[in-house]
Copies of this chain bind each other. A is one copy, B any other.
Amino acid sequence: MATEPSAKVIDGKAVAKQIREEISAEVSKLKDAIGVVPGLAVILVGDRKDSATYVRNKKIACESVGITSFEVHLPEDASEQEVLKYISDFNDDPSVHGILVQLPLPSHMNEQTILNAVTIEKDVDGFHPLNIGRLAMRGRDPLFVPCTPKGCIELLHRYGVEIKGKRAVVIGRSNIVGMPAALLLQREDATVSIVHSRTKNPEEITRQADIIISAVGQPNMVRGSWIKPGAVIIDVGINPVEDASSPRGYRLVGDICYEEACKVAAAVTPVPGGVGPMTIAMLLSNTLSSAKRAHNFQ
């Protein structure tokens, strides 16, 4: 009887849980040693339900590891000035070590102006161009690495996947995932190619990869034929597709055709339960690092 080859499942949920426990222990150590409790401030503007859910999840995650969370909720019609005032106060507040502005902002606000107002020492999202520049440059170090790509690399590390000298393909080149993921892989000495919407032969290039990180938001785009046997796949996509059999009428799938990938790849992240849980864990990790750095605590 022929056995189906089957990829190892990279369990982001379990890894994220373990990381949170580690963070929790470090938060206690920091408090016991020097009386400092890390603090994360989240600014939410408007009434988007999804944004409110994200903010609530971040708050719960903070509490679960002993990080103090500060929340500001402004109405949809708040002025840019008001938001900037809160950012400025948080910048000056020594009990706040990370500041996060929940996106998207209402359309009457200039996102770039607002994000640039967050001091780089508290930019736990890692999206400030100065952080991205340092991430790109050899011999420089960013203060923070963006959470989702950091979570992707952390999964590779925790599963003992060698990166150095490997061919890596990143699918998607967004500022928040694809581009920084490519820079991170390159920092670890992978040979990196970035595939995007203008790429003419994405399948052929992707098939050369030992490591694939996909972040495009196209359900099941990467088929089994795109995958080199034995590749390791990190799927950042979280795409709703119709599913009449689900009580919600839809289910979530990644960019990677999971069933096909399982037959070819050595390891693959599921959706949900792969990269998703890692993002918040990395946000907590960045907040903890920030507090340690602010107090020169090793």
Interface of A is mostly: mixed
- Do the beta carbons of B199 and A191 come within 8 Å of each other? yes
Bound-state Cα–Cα, A275 to B167, Å: 29
Residue on B nearest A127 in the bound complex, by CB: B137
Within A105-161, the residues touching B (CB, 8 Å) are 128-140
Residue in B128, B137, B173, B198 whose CB lies within 8 Å of A165: B198
Bound-state Cα–Cα, A136 to B130, Å: 11
Bound-state Cα–Cα, A140 to B127, Å: 12
Tell yes or no: A193 within 8 A of B by CB.
yes
Contacts of A131 in B (CB 8 A): 133
Bound-state Cα–Cα, A175 to B135, Å: 11
Copies of the chain in the assembly: 2
Tell yes or no: A174 within 8 A of B by CB.
yes
Shortest CB-to-CB span from A68 to chain B, Å, is 30
Residue on B nearest A140 in the bound complex, by CB: B129
Tell yes or no: A192 within 8 A of B by CB.
yes
Residue in B133, B164, B193 whose CB lies within 8 Å of A136: B133
Q: A165-B200, A179-B136 are in contact. Are A195 and B191 (CB under 8 A)?
A: yes
Q: A130-B129, A133-B128 are in contact. Are A189 and B179 (CB under 8 A)?
A: no
Q: A129-B130, A133-B130, A139-B175 are in contact. Are A191 and B186 (CB under 8 A)?
A: no
Shortest CB-to-CB span from A115 to chain B, Å, is 11
Over the window 203-222 of chain A, the binary record of Cβ atoms lying under 8 Å from chain B Cβ atoms (1 yes, 0 no) is 00100000000000000000
Tell yes or no: A196 within 8 A of B by CB.
yes
Shortest CB-to-CB span from A226 to chain B, Å, is 15
- Do the beta carbons of A198 and B164 come within 8 Å of each other? yes
Contacts of A205 in B (CB 8 A): 167, 191
Tell yes or no: A194 within 8 A of B by CB.
yes
- Do the beta carbons of B129 and A133 come within 8 Å of each other? yes
Tell yes or no: A19 within 8 A of B by CB.
no
Q: A130-B129, A175-B139 are in contact. Are A189 and B198 (CB under 8 A)?
A: yes
Q: A191-B205, A193-B193 are in contact. Are A129 and B139 (CB under 8 A)?
A: no
User: Lowest 6 CB-CB distances: which A-B pairs, in order?
Assistant: A133-B133, A129-B133, A132-B133, A193-B193, A189-B198, A191-B199
| 25 residue pairs A–B, Cβ–Cβ below 8 Å | A128-B133, A129-B130, A129-B134, A129-B136, A129-B140, A130-B130, A131-B133, A132-B133, A133-B134, A135-B136, A136-B183, A137-B175, A138-B173, A138-B174, A138-B179, A164-B198, A165-B198, A165-B199, A167-B200, A167-B205, A173-B186, A189-B196, A191-B193, A191-B199, A191-B200
Q: A173-B186, A191-B196 are in contact. List 19 more A-B contacts (CB 8 A).
A: A128-B133, A129-B136, A129-B137, A132-B132, A132-B136, A132-B137, A133-B134, A138-B173, A138-B175, A139-B175, A165-B198, A165-B199, A165-B200, A167-B205, A186-B194, A189-B198, A191-B198, A191-B199, A191-B205
